[in-house]
């Protein structure tokens, strides 16, 4: 059995698709591409697909991950192209590598998020971010199955910064006639999970920052958080390095031809 790990996106209007919607679309793509999938045993066999830490409905993402199990060997690059061509625009495969290590989910310990706040002055966003960073705790509430739950949204946040004027001026998606602020957020994956909307609730609590329209939220990256550099590393890098170092059993394995980093937003 061969295992392939894929990175995919949720862009544009498809950011509003649920995880269940994506599962259905991806399984249809597997059938269209005639991928030799391995199936589970039992009365209702299903394709062996493992999804890792999917983004919430309504948020975009440049860094979603899954793993599939095959009954026949396939070149990751060719599989990438076949699946990408079978998925709707907005759900795009951007990376593929043969799994040579264990614990992909264990390497997803932090995420980098971008929060676009239309109608908010950048200076107001920076003041709010500074107040959030200065707080020891920021208590927020979220509705759970058993009612409202109160928890600290501050401890999981590694960094929260507003983009400067130069970065804002260079963005093609920034409106020219209205204020717009963009925040970059690095958050650790903890329990309970701290989501971007929890941080927005925290900004409202500590600085009375309330965007006039819902924020556009996009995950830019997720992976293992490096405490020394303060960055989130590529979770597929160990597999790519293992493929390069030790080709298996005479098969002409190819990890991935092009890095998805080149497609990530500036």
Q: Tens of pLDDT along 12-46?
A: 999 999 999 999 999 999 999 999 999 998 888 89
Structure tokens at 56: 């919430």
Query: Are residues 31 and 89 part of one domain?
Result: yes
Q: Are residues 141 and 204 in the same domain?
A: yes
State yes or no: pLDDT of 72 exceeds 60.
yes
Residues 209 and 125 in one domain: yes
Q: Which residue range is the domain that position 204 belongs to?
A: 110-226
Q: Are residues 114 and 222 in the same domain?
A: yes
* 179 and 144 both lie in a single domain: yes
Instruction: Check whether residue 83 and residue 119 sit in a common domain.
Output: no
Q: What is the mean pLDDT of the chain?
A: 89
CATH number at residue 147: 3.30.70
Q: What is residue 258's DSSP assignment?
A: S
pLDDT recorded at residue 165: 66
Residues 82 and 140 in one domain: no
Q: Specify whether 101 is located in the same domain as 124.
A: no
Q: What total number of domains does the chain contain?
A: 2
Both 220 and 116 in one domain: the answer is: yes
| Half-sphere exposure at residue 192, Cβ-oriented, CA atoms within 13 angstroms | 15
Please state, for a pLDDT cut of 90, what percent of the chain lies above it.
76
Q: What's the pLDDT score for residue 245?
A: 77
Q: Are 102 and 115 in a shared domain?
A: no
For residue range 140-193, list pLDDT tens digits in order: 999 888 888 899 999 999 999 998 766 666 665 655 578 899 999 999 999 989
Contact in structure between 203 and 209 (CB atoms under 8 Å): yes
Q: What tens digit of pLDDT does each residue of 79-112 get?
A: 999 999 999 999 999 999 999 999 999 999 999 9
The alpha carbon of 257 is separated from its chain's Cα centroid by a whole number of angstroms, namely: 21
Q: Is the pLDDT of residue 244 over 90?
A: no
């Amino acid at each position: 059995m061969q295992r392939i790990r894929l990175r995919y996106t949720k862009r544009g209007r498809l950011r509003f698709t649920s995880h269940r919607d994506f599962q259905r679309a991806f399984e249809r793509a597997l059938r269209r591409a005639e991928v030799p999938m391995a199936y589970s045993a039992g009365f209702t066999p299903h394709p062996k697909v493992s999804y890792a830490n999917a983004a919430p409905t309504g948020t975009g993402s440049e860094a979603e991950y899954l793993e599939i199990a095959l009954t026949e060997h396939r070149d990751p690059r060719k599989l990438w192209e076949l699946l990408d061509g079978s998925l709707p625009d907005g759900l795009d495969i951007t990376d593929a590598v043969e799994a040579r290590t264990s614990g992909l989910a264990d390497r997803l310990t932090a995420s980098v998020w971008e929060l676009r706040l239309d109608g908010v002055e950048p200076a107001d966003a920076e003041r709010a971010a500074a107040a959030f960073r200065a707080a020891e705790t920021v208590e927020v509430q979220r509705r759970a199955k058993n009612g409202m739950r109160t928890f600290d949204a501050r401890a999981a946040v590694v960094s929260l910064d507003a983009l400067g004027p130069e970065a804002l001026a260079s963005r093609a998606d920034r409106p020219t006639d209205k204020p717009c602020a963009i925040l970059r957020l690095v958050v650790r994956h903890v329990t309970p999970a701290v989501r971007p909307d929890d941080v927005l609730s925290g900004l409202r609590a500590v600085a009375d920052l309330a965007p006039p329209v819902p924020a556009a939220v996009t995950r830019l990256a997720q992976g293992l958080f490096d405490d020394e550099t303060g960055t989130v590393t590529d979770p597929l890098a160990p597999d790519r390095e293992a493929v390069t170092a030790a080709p298996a059993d005479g098969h002409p394995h190819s990890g991935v031809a092009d890095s998805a980093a080149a497609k990530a937003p500036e």
